[in-house]
Structure 1
């Protein structure tokens, strides 16, 4: 297949209304809304190939930083500032978060010591059980640990760099069809979204997922331009590989991707259908090769698949991490702890401060952009772009809003690229039409954004109380000024546009900065300031051992979970058990924010004392596992602290049948496990939902068979002496 390249004539003249502003004349923010008619697609008819910006005709991302001959002089400096500022924001003080999510850090540690553990995503280097996700994100962290040693930087820096790459790729994607101004706005919005700052400074799989999906969108845009089979297959393969990062969540963008290509690719229908069939095959291969290997390898030759009840990756994919997340019927899971299912979930106390700052703006500007391009021909690129990102936002947003299973606020980072792209593209279209209806659209957008930011900031009223007033006043002032755009001189209009951008980004930027300045640890991180008081979003429930407290203990607090807006902010508070295996922090009501301290629990890891570390390391080379403990997070804390293999009995929730009591007894008789550590967590709710009680039975058998000793407040059983 040949591809014809189009070039602008050498004597081409820019339209009379073209505005080119030097970055140092009006400041960097002034450039963000400086749109040129030569770098925007026509709003109604399709954009002829010859009218596409030169940046769109460049080959690959390699020219991303070099720019194009027709770019305004501020385009390349603006991009460099964006990428450098993003890198600083995501990397500064990164080591303060320590192991961040110790559950994944321990798996990265295991992968750094064992290639088998790296491939399967095992929680420990002796390969007892895997994490409850596919392992692509662990491959990157594990390889980094192998190269640079085990420390918080080797685990977290790859996440930050993935964030910088995602911002750069989103910029490149938007720039192809909407020019450098829209691209800078989109990149800045993504970089400063609070939940994006949180997750690109954390070691959950979401960072890699977002990068792969944005890369897939870039490839899809390239495919639509020339009906390229190669680019379409690559887009599908990237989405498929995203499945290996976070399973079925990656597939939420597939309807938008496939629909846009089927609609807008400039080739006949029969060929488009054939290309989509090839893309579907590429997606299945990219997502399924690892699944096939795991299913074909005999169970005795690989670790147990964490999160499943039948040691099956297919069960994990379709059950606990699949349809169970939608229906709430998660065997062995905790179910929905938020109780806020519905369309308003993205704006509520849990998710609102993470993602919704510019969500109303994205809906308004995205809808306006789609309306402007509604009558274009089938191949109209502007309409295709708004359908692509709008479809991404709609499908993912609806799923997150109506999930009945486990859902956490940080999942919303998957919405951030779509929100950012719609804001950038929609602002570009409105700016181009500012002498017509565009000024009204910008006014409405700025006003809604200012009011919503004022309300969101009110949820943390004790934190920078002056900020909400400044944001409201400046935003409404900018909105009023945007109404006059059609009557302002060029330079004055640019200043007003810059003010609108600054006002819109002020509140999320403040949240982004405080998020970057706050260390985050535990299984459920949250962006924004930590404040005292209130029940905190989400009605967090932490589950540990029987009798209300950790096994063998007297109701000590579980480990820390990083606080968020409206939460207790990690302040230690007394708690009590309920007597049925459910542990509520903060007095047992189930309504309080998270707490710190104690021996670790279901949602956080413990930091073992020096005395306990020395005990675990003594003679560890003579055992397959230096210790066993119920729950993956508890095991992770001991494994990271002592740097010895620790078996996570029962997996993450303590409700996986791994190992069974009989198998555990075989390990003990064979001298493969040295110690059993009491006081760890398991989920009573998980067993009620069909999960295994093997971990509870193991703990009871150990307590009845071996003599307990106390090491610095921790209950330890020596399994080598009865």
Structure 2
């Protein structure tokens, strides 16, 4: 009967999918350049197969972005079909977000019923960081979709005892590695435990299939990186953010140990802003950098006072607010390019509850309760108590009656799957030193699934003995109380009255649930559901209402009150662009600059090659001074644009900048600047003094 019902259209699911499409897709026509770092790469990838294959940042294929290109391939295909627009590069993330909601339903409904499937998909839909991530051209929403797809196929492989599905499932984790590298491996423990416990095969065959699955994982993981690294370095782009021009080194360095230890590429030291953030009022470091990258250094300092931390905007048309790490006047904390050691001080209005909001590195204090703190919690923590209690209730509620403790039911194997996803990821975010708040989307599927499983367990327990029914009421009472109190904490910074109401409702509902009445009382259920979803849903709605497609995606009511563009890294000085285009001649590059941040907007607007000699952070050792001189002597490069960020460069890049300053000729490229050779312009999304150097006369 259950299977027959599932074969029919579930209109509740249809409604949830429509809701997700609205939340993730509405207003993306105002996405502007979204994450301009990746949009510049997408622009370049549409120009040649080589750029497409390598994920080149610039049209000349000088350097790549700091991730493998699988997600960018999808975005580039969209851009090739529809043209390079904010909405076209964001579209794959929107579709991935909707697809993840559907997969959540399909993962839960067969084992736990339609109600669990609906609840899981709705919770995932109404998780603030999921909405924010699904509206950008960052890679996280696409990665989560592929991971859920891998788990879904593994579930089918277990049910059908099909080795080919095992191969495909683990192979998809390898594909995930080539989306965002080691982040994809965070759910491997869950898959391995689930496979071993759930599949019913003789142990020898079980091991053999697992070995084949691991082989598939290995092949799909390393095939692309080894293919790239095996190409002569002179015949391909430099691997951005690596120190040895290697994708494998990038995986285990910048995108590996440095994430855990909080190191900065090229320096080996901790970057200001990473690590603990204080919960008391006063000032704090406010450094920002989008899409999982340390800022490159194109910034001045600034102050921001008296405002709740802002959200982050896309640089589009709608007045949608500034990034969480920005003030409305585009101060130094605004962009991808915050220089190491340069920080703006900001007085917070009601510390706590800002939600990863005031800084790209607002990740709270390391420890077991970091994810409950306001910085991360207001993005991912709204349902955390439900998930934790759901894990416990699911394990004990679906145990086999009279079975030994080590006998695991089918439902319990599913609980192990989601617990195996939840615990390692929770552990990483509790101790890691470098990540951005929006990375916590990795926890969202496990939280949604465990919450839904907990509800299914409580319903099952309530229909059994009086003792189990009483336990179910206690579980629900504690779940409602802790969840609403936690949400009141997040809400307090913006809506004190609503926060007080939530506290009163939490106490009232928790007492009501303890009363010896039927647990399926519809009024009680509806009131509890509305209370839990109301403010979490409101936070989730804010990126949609503000048409926000940000490089550092975050959800916050402050998005609704901010105006102005914050196209981080996407701003262009039209006079500089016009001058260099007019005088480029036969040069291969429009101009060179220190970092990708300062180049992205010009690539997007002109479609021309702009060389970012230091990669994203301005620290990549892409070439030596002698190699740079040869480039200039051959006429491939005529101009160099230098900004404040040049002061933070080191190593070979520093030598190149010193040589440019000593030998280049300063150019006045604007009639309005009269005798000024270094007018102020917007580079990397922020105001800074920039100087254009003409290098064409050095070797004449």
The alpha-carbon deviation at position 678 of structure 1 amounts to 1.4
Counterpart pick for 1:709 among 659, 664, 667: 667
> Once the 2 structures are TM-superposed, how far is the Cα of residue 387 of structure 1 from its aligned partner?
0.7
Aligned twin of 2:77: 143
- Please show how residues 240-319 of structure 1 align to structure 2 within 5 Å: 240-319=174-253
CA contact (8 A) 2:154 2:195 kept: yes
CA distance in 1: counterparts of 2:655 and 2:618, whole angstroms: 11
Structure 2 residue aligned with 1:50:
none
Does the 8 Å CA contact 1:627/1:676 hold for their aligned counterparts?
Answer: yes
Whole-Å Cα distance in 2 between the matches of residues 609 and 107 of structure 1? 20
Q: 1:468 aligned to 499, 502, 522, which one?
A: 499
1:672 aligns with 2:636: yes
1:364 match: secondary structure? helix
Shift of 1:512: 0.7
* Correspondence for 1:327: 261
Q: Say yes or no: does 1:433 pair with 2:461.
A: yes
> Against the structure 1 CA distance between its residues 523 and 152, is the aligned structure 2 distance closer, same or farther, given a 3 Å change threshold?
closer
SS at 2:15 equivalent: helix
Q: Which moved more, 1:247-256 or 1:514-523?
A: 514-523
Does 1:213 pair with 2:147? yes
2-structure distance, mates of 1:471, 1:232? 46
Mark the CA change 1:183 to 1:364 in structure 2 (over 3 Å): closer, same or farther: same
Q: Does 1:632 pair with 2:632?
A: no
Moved more, 257-266 or 656-665: 656-665
- Cα distance, 1:606 vs structure 2: 4.3
Contact 1:90 1:160 in 2 (8 A): yes
The aligned counterpart of 2:609 is 645
Superposed CA offset, 1:446-483 (max 9, x none): 1111100001112x2xx344432343344444434433
Query: How big is the shift at 1:633?
Result: 1.4
TM-aligned CA distance change 1:711 to 1:528, over 3 Å = farther
> How many Å separate the matches in 1 of 2:224 and 2:89?
23
> In structure 1, which of residues 332, 340, 344 is the aligned counterpart of residue 369 of structure 2?
344
Matched residue, 1:202: 136
The answer to whether the 8 Å contact 1:347/1:356 transfers is yes
State how far apart, in whole Å, the 1-side matches of 2:64 and 2:22 are.
34
Q: Separation in 2 of the partners of 1:235 and 1:88?
A: 30
Q: Distance in 2 between matches of 1:629 and 1:368?
A: 57
Q: Is the 8 A contact 2:59 2:607 kept in 1?
A: no
1:125-524 to structure 2, matched below 5 A, reads 125-332=59-266, 335=270, 337-339=274-276, 340-375=365-400, 378=407, 380-404=409-433, 406-435=434-463, 436=469, 437-458=471-492, 460=493, 463-484=494-515, 486-487=517-518, 493-518=521-546, 520=548, 523-524=551-552
Which is further off, 302-311 or 470-479?
Answer: 470-479
Distance 1:523 1:258 in 2: 34
Q: Which runs of 5+ in 2 are unaligned?
A: 277-364, 464-468, 671-678, 680-689
Q: Give the distance between the partners of 2:580 and 2:473, measured in 1 at CA.
A: 67
Secondary structure of 1:134's counterpart equals coil
Q: Is residue 144–residue 442 contact of structure 2 (8 Å, CA) maintained in 1? A: yes
In structure 1, distance between residues paired with 2:656 and 2:555 = 38
User: Following the alignment from structure 1 to structure 2, what is the Cα–Cα distance between the partners of residues 217 and 663?
Assistant: 48
Residue 655 of structure 2 is aligned with which of 689, 697, 703?
A: 697
1:614 is displaced (CA, Å) by 1.9
Report how far residue 523 of structure 1 moved: 4.5
Q: Alignment partner of 2:113: what SS?
A: helix
> Residue 131 of structure 1 aligns to a residue in which SS?
coil
Q: Report if the CA contact (8 A) 2:54-2:69 is conserved.
A: yes
Q: Structure 1 residues 706, 513: CA separation in 2 closer, same or farther (over 3 Å shift)?
A: same
Partner of 1:719: 695
Note the C-alpha offset of 1:498. 2.4
String of CA shifts for 1:498-538, please: whole Å, max 9, x gaps: 2222211112111111122335566433321338xxxxxxx
Distance 2:516 2:240 in 1: 58
Q: Which has the higher contact order (CA 8 A, sep 6+)?
A: 2
Bigger mean CA deviation after superposition, 617-626 or 233-242: 617-626
Judge conservation of contact 1:475–1:504 (CA < 8 Å) in 2: no
Q: Within 5 A, what are the aligned runs for 1:575-654?
A: 604-618=568-582, 620=584, 622-654=586-618
> What TM-score do you get using the length of structure 2 for normalisation?
0.78
Counterparts in 2 of 1:331 and 1:610: CA distance versus 1, 3 Å: closer
**Offset at 1:699?**
1.9
Q: Deviations over 1:312-338 (max 9, x none)?
A: 111111111112222335542663512
Aligned-pair CA distance for 1:299? 0.6
Give the whole-Å Cα distance in 1 for the aligned partners of 2:159 and 2:181: 29
**Aligned-partner Cα distance in 1 for 2:507–2:366:** 32
CA distance in 2, matches of 1:432, 1:498: 18
Q: Is the 8 A contact 1:616 1:642 kept in 2?
A: no
How far apart in 2 are the matches of 1:232 and 1:439?
40
Per-residue deviation, residues 210-232 of structure 1 (Å, max 9, x unmatched): 00111111112112223321222
| Whole-angstrom distance in 1 between the partners of 2:495 and 2:26 | 22
Matches within 5 A, 1:15-30: none
- Which of 526, 548, 554 is matched with 1:526 structurally? 554
With over 3 angstroms needed to count, the CA separation of the structure-2 counterparts of 1:103 and 1:485, relative to structure 1, is: farther
- Scaled by the length of structure 1, what TM-score is found? 0.76
Partners of 1:278 and 1:621 in 2: CA distance: 56
Shift of 1:402: 1.0
Alpha-carbon distance in structure 2 between the residues aligned to 1:108 and 1:292: 23
User: What's the secondary structure of 1:219's corresponding residue?
Assistant: helix
8 Å CA contact 2:397, 2:460 repeated in 1? no
In structure 2, what is the Cα distance between the partners aligned to 1:420 and 1:683? 46
Structure 1 pair 521–366 and aligned structure 2 pair: CA distance change class (3 A): same
Q: Distance in 1 between matches of 2:90 and 2:644?
A: 26
Q: Secondary structure at the match of 2:459?
A: helix
